[in-house]
Amino acid sequence: MPASLDPRYADVVHRRRSADGAFWIGVTTTHVFCRPWCPARTPLPEHLEYFASPTAALQAGFRPCRRCRPLGDRSSVVLREGRVETPLGEMVAIGTTDGLALLEFTDRPMLRTQRERVRHLFASEILPGEFPALRQLQQELAGYFARHRTTFTVPLLPLGTPFQRAVWRALLAVPAGTTTTYERLAGDAGRPGAARAAGRANGDNRLSILVPCHRVIGSDGDLTGYGGGLWRKEALLELERRPS
């Protein structure tokens, strides 16, 4: 065994049931996470990330495997849905005890598709109700619209492909009060020249405002599109331009 190989890899290779609950593995090529003994094909060691809890894997953007069901019984009902009032209109928030999976304006045309996608990714029904991140989100959004804060600490569950995750991570690094372009975003996400793909990943963002896809504009300074409506994009950029 090479010195760099994680000792837990032996548990994975031998599909040891005794390792169940000790750690979870994320496969970086597929962004799926599993129990150590998952019957799916054993990934190469360099494609593995180890997590101490399913929550940590979800917050890193990995989605639960359908074969080994790493969320266990929790996967029967995990998603809850609530509403948030903002000065720009009502928003839908969907999350689990682990964090926030979706935040979107209720009148956005893509909402239905995105809601369906979240349901599928978590393999869970969506029931109305509270979840821990909801109250925190309401407080932080109120502070944001009152110009008291420009960043958020709500735990996010940005489940997606490796490239989507890279684009969303790059978005999180764009400070309030500034903008970026699809070209720069593609480069920051590790695929220079893939502006169109970066634009698609930007449009697939399910965590409006928190993952600031509204901070992407055309290289000519044009506002380009916004899923929540251009007037909202304009309002958000204006709000961030003049912090108190």
Residues that bind Zn ion (CB under 5 A): 34, 38, 65, 67-68
Question: Toward Zn ion, which CB reaches closer, 57 or 213?
Answer: 57
Q: How far is the CB of 206 from Zn ion (least distance, A)?
A: 23
Tokens in use for 175? 């400070």
Given the complex with Zn ion, which of 110 and 123 has the nearer CB atom? 123
Annotated catalytic residue 213:
yes
Work out the end-to-end distance of the chain between its first and last CA atoms, rounded to an integer number of angstroms.
Answer: 57
- What's the closest the beta carbon of residue 67 comes to Zn ion, in angstroms? 5
Distance CA 72, CA 74 (A): 5
User: 3-state DSSP call for residue 208?
Assistant: coil
Structure tokens, 88: 């720009």
Q: Which is nearer to Zn ion, 12 or 201 (CB)?
A: 12
| Cβ proximity of 144 and 152 under 8 Å | yes
CB 115 to Zn ion: min, Å? 25
Q: Which residue has the tokens 């590790």?
A: 190
172 vs 202: CA distance, rounded Å: 11
The full DSSP string for 101-112 is: EEEEETT-TTHH
Beta bridge partners of 232: none
Nearer to Zn ion, 65 or 100 (CB): 65
**Smallest separation, CB 204 to Zn ion (Å):** 24
- Residues annotated catalytic, as ranges: 213
